[in-house]
Structure 1
Amino acid sequence: MSLSSANEAPRPVRMVFTSRAGGVSSSPYDSFNLGDHVGDDPADVAANRGRLARILDLEHLVWMEQIHSNTVTVVDGPQEEPVEATDALVTTQRALALVVQVADCVPVLLADHVHGVVAAAHAGRMGARNGIVRRTVETMLELGATPDAIQVVLGPAASGRHYEVPAEMAADVEKHLPGSRTRTEQGTPGIDVRAGLVRQLMGLGVTNIEADPRCTIEDESFFSYRREGTTGRQAGLVWLP
């Protein structure tokens, strides 16, 4: 398993992104698939999730039933089952890791360690268009976070140079998420969700933003629904130690 972390040294908050390598799942889910809804052997998914928890020394991971909505849920303790029908989780609890799964959508990790609030959001095209990240920030503020103290990391995702969509769709997303419309390498209409999210976050007063530039469509070390169709899911995790 390959893990990349935005916080390698001991810090007040931890953020981690996984890749597809190092698990037990067979093709086309090879090998570190963390998605239990994509057709993979449940035993293999459970083994991969168990390994993730052991390597990160985490007892409590909170998963989501992601539906490309703009619903944000505040969690105040461990959850036996994935949180139903939501695309962002927010908590003030320590040692509670929030997990977002993706395979081209943008995994968004947010943290205000000063005020003790963290969040994980699933920002696909529809969720981003409909304000999932904006609503996540607003929920964090309700729990005591401040824009100047929020750190955001946007993980590996489909890049604008490869995310081709119909012109009408690009225009629609641009209308709701300014800065997202772009042109692909082929010169066709495209969407750069991360670019739109950076602009949106800046407009909310959140300026401590990092964006991993890697494209899941072109980088085969990540799962990509657009590239493969049937495939697994990598994850982003954030927690207050």
Structure 2
Amino acid sequence: MTLKILTHELLSPLTHGFFTRSGGASSGIFQGLNGGFGSSDQKESVAINRSRVAEALRVPPDRLISVHQVHSPDVVTVKAPHEGTPPRADAMVTAVPGLALTILTADCQPVLFADHDAGVVGAAHAGWKGALGGVLDATIEAMLALGADRARIVAVIGPSISQRNYEVGPDFMDSFIAEDPDSARFFAQGHGDRLQFDLTGFGLHRLRQAGVAAADWTRHCTYADPDLFYSYRRSVHRAEADYGRLMSCIRL
């Protein structure tokens, strides 16, 4: 099976992609292109998957740069491949050609950024905690420090869990309301006291509030399409032991 890679016109002609699970070497519950060494998948399979992604991006495997994601607002400025253990952070920026910034997700938002004129790109992992904590804003600030212009930055949210499949409790909403009462608009009533959270709507709001030139979502729901996407929440509902990680990448 060949790789199926989603791209977006806002990021073109830069080499980038929101990789689906198609075309990978993993099997079982990880069937497909699992990019997560943090999963319980066979390490050899993950290495093969990552090498296929690197080949698609036209970079050596050691130029596929990742971080140890921890749902933080922390951003790393990448100037060369990491030596040793990847830093704990949830976003990266670079102005160095040939480095493919790579985010792993399985429902959370993978967000790719670019200032085409300045030659600066970024990638962020933005789950609810990271988005609320400011990881998208912090990524933009780190890009500005490399010479990007806020009014030229474009951002695209890749496959993420959609509102209809993201059920949360009332305490969850309280965290958002405490920061901004207007955040109530990102919640819809569900069954009983359950609510449906619009993660990508919130992400787009934060990006536009930050003043970027343009922001969009690919409109793909990870939960709803098991053939194309891994989903942490779907794996929980199916009582599966683990789940794969999707790769989203961008390079100059």
Q: TM-score, normalised by structure 2?
A: 0.88
User: Among residues 136, 139, 144, which one is paired with 1:141 in the alignment?
Assistant: 144
Report whether the alignment pairs 1:121 with 2:115. no
Separation in 1, partners of 2:191, 2:15? 38
Structure 1's unaligned 5+ residue stretches are none
CA contact (8 A) 1:74 1:89 kept: yes
Instruction: Please name the residue that 2:239 is paired with.
Output: none
How far the C-alpha of 1:200 sits from its partner, in A, is 1.4
Q: CA RMSD in A?
A: 2.0
The number of aligned residues is 239
Counting helix residues as a fraction of each chain, which structure ranks higher?
2
Match of 2:44, SS state, is helix
How far does the alpha carbon of each residue in 1:99-136 deviate from its partner, in whole angstroms, 9 at most, with x for none? 00000000000010111111100001111111111111
CA contact (8 A) 2:8 2:218 kept: no
Percent of pairs identical after alignment?
35
Match of 2:29, SS state, is coil
Instruction: Please name the residue that 2:55 is paired with.
Output: 54
How far the C-alpha of 1:191 sits from its partner, in A, is 1.6
Instruction: Please name the residue that 2:90 is paired with.
Output: 87
Match of 2:163, SS state, is coil
Match of 1:134, SS state, is helix
How far does the alpha carbon of each residue in 1:11-49 deviate from its partner, in whole angstroms, 9 at most, with x for none? 2x2221011111111111111101000100000000111
Instruction: Please name the residue that 2:234 is paired with.
Output: 227
CA contact (8 A) 1:110 1:150 kept: yes
CA contact (8 A) 1:163 1:184 kept: no
Match of 2:247, SS state, is strand
Q: Compare 79-88 and 18-27 and name the one that shifted more.
A: 79-88
How far the C-alpha of 1:82 sits from its partner, in A, is 5.5
Instruction: Please name the residue that 1:42 is paired with.
Output: 43
Structure 2's unaligned 5+ residue stretches are 237-241
Q: TM-score, normalised by structure 1?
A: 0.92
Separation in 1, partners of 2:171, 2:65? 36
Separation in 2, partners of 1:75, 1:176? 31
Instruction: Please name the residue that 1:182 is paired with.
Output: 187
Instruction: Please name the residue that 1:158 is paired with.
Output: 161
How far does the alpha carbon of each residue in 1:153-192 deviate from its partner, in whole angstroms, 9 at most, with x for none? 0001011111111112123134447547322665831221
